[in-house]
Structure 1
Amino acid sequence: MTTSKTDKLAKRLADHGRHLFVYHQIWTNQVVYSLERSMNNNQCLKQLTFAGKKTLPSALRKDMWRPLLTATFPSTSQGLSAFRKLRELRMLHEHNWEHPNPEAQKLPEKKQRGFIIMDQKANSIADLAWVLRHQEELGVKKQQQNEREQNRIREELLALAKEAQDGGLPLLEQSLKDQEATVEMMKQLQKEGGDDAPSRKVIGDKLVALKAMRLRHQKMLAADEVINLAKSTALGQSAALEARGSASPDSVDLTVEPPEIFYHPPIGSRQNKRRTPAQQVPQYTAEGVVIRWTNPLDAEFAAEWPAAVRHDAAGLARHTAAPIDKEPAFYVQEMIERNTSSKYTQLREERARAAEESDGEDIEIDDAEYERLMGKSAAELRA
């Protein structure tokens, strides 16, 4: 595999989930979602719901499906979440559909019910707008939660550092030794047995308290070290600024990054270890979401879109969505040139050039020239 192909494959895997391609059936308005630019027959057929006789094809016909839109998300996790949510909502629409005439006394006929269930184009667009609004709300809540957590961690760090500077570290170490001795004594008493032997529950509670004390000791050591390092760094910066004659309190960096130990959950809780800021999953946001429409008027099927979402035109396309990394084609000739293979274009230009040189005589391309232009063996063509 060449380097260019390897790079393309790596980029494709890294972007898997960032782009969501939506296709619709031009007659029935059935909708399928795809994470690839071209529709996969088996994967797309699994998304279609049986709505009656002849409503589920054995294979997809490309001439019956058109790109509806292409949504690009800031992160792969947000795109995959939207993909999963959209499929769930579409299934909900197909199983909980509304009667087209609320005043009707009976259900529609079987054939009409099939058309109602298959017609999901407007629902899918409205679902996408709802998913984006929901993700934006989740992102705001998650950001507020992270800010509260960071403030709590900083307050804990400063409190432990102050306690360590006030002489609390030796006292905590002594208490830790006493607690360890108490636990060992209780274990020995339980091993010997007797009426005064402590129960397992009591020993377990003591062990939990001992672990919490050890965690507090580690946090106090880390907080004291971080604060002392920040102070020495600030003093060095202040001295350097005074030497240059530009000393200012605002120019001294007093940023303190909490150590990783402060992200450890409380002892006794069933929570998993909290992620550090560098390990945080990207937050959901509407910033950076781009929707490219084959027909921009389809966006009106949704009542409201998040203000940060950008809407663009995808340009002309036939059976496959337009490339993400290329400018949209708004003329037929541009679309043809974009979809035409570069090897075929080069071969056609070579034949045209040879025709001009031969003054209208028949042109023959030898095997070596054919292999150079097409990358295929001429012997395979004759076989």
Structure 2
Amino acid sequence: MTTRRTVRIAMNGVTGRMGYRQHLVRSILAIREQGGVDLGDGTAIWPEPVLLGRREHALREIAERHGLPAESVSTDLDAVLGDDSVDIYFDSQITAAREEALTKAIAAGKHLYTEKPTAGDLQGALRLARLANEAGIKTGVVQDKLFLPGLLKLRRLVEGGFFGRILSVRGEFGYWVFEGDWQAAQRPSWNYRTEDGGGIVRDMFPHWEYVLHGLFGRVESVQALAVTHIPERWDEQGKPYQATADDAAYGIFELAGGTVAQINSSWAVRVNRDELVEFQVDGTEGSAVAGLRTCRVQHRSATPKPVWNPDIPATEVFREQWQEVPDNGEFDNGFKAQWELFLRHVVADEPYDKDLLAGARGVQVGELGLRSSAEGRRLPVPELSL
């Protein structure tokens, strides 16, 4: 017979798109539906969410929809953090509100799991990491893209030595976010206001830091150009506003070991790819193109001999010259998979390295990316420590 180990999680920001869909429904509630996280010793971790936010009516509607008790809803952050039965504080609020809430949670002795960026600047991100370390608190920062099927296949290739010496990584991410005048925007308006913590560099460079660090090596330098292609947008009420934050960024990252990564990020690009994000990795022994779910390879022994001749039409279908990497297993939702690892870390003290210091590295690369763009030069990325 399985014994339940209940872990109460204060979830702040579940009325937002990411907090609701990925973290509450597809992670915490999905874990409950499967019976918890099995520790293999007759114990299952049973997550119990406490829905936290500013809009009580929206929180109560979510609780009703998913059969959660009325007492699992609160608009009082301090009261929830003061509740000794709450074990973990999770934050998916807007970036500008995150650092203050995380600081309060640390002071209350709660373990932390949070979206990124963890703070508005590197100083704040490091301060949080050091405070949590001094308090003996376990922390986790969302690194969902490392758990995508396409990147899990890519990791398999890297660890298996498929590429030989990895030369370069080319990434393309983005899609057209509607301006909001005649079609509603797919992203909230605060994303496009610097004063509210918006901007694609602040949002996406932390992602690229952990993807590059986790798969290929530490980022040692960054050179970026951040731009605002669409200067005027319309908010959720249909009112025009000036976009003060960057909506596209073009970055070059030098990695430990000599690999060069070039990643374009844009909310002002129309998609001509198989997936919304794709990474091409080229090595001396082979290449791969990985997206959210798929991964294709071309080995050195099977590389065709292209011939440049602009005077005749191309006779080769280049995409057909690549081989699909098989799934060889089932892939769970990436957010859920990481939640399970963090819960095991909290309850069973299993190893976990995606902590607030790792989150600070992402903030650092984003901050240096913006500075690089402003100054027009390549900048080194110093190693961080507590």
TM-score range, shorter chain: under 0.3
Q: TM-score, normalised by structure 1?
A: 0.23
Q: Which has the higher helix share?
A: 1
Q: TM-score, normalised by structure 2?
A: 0.23
Higher strand share: 2
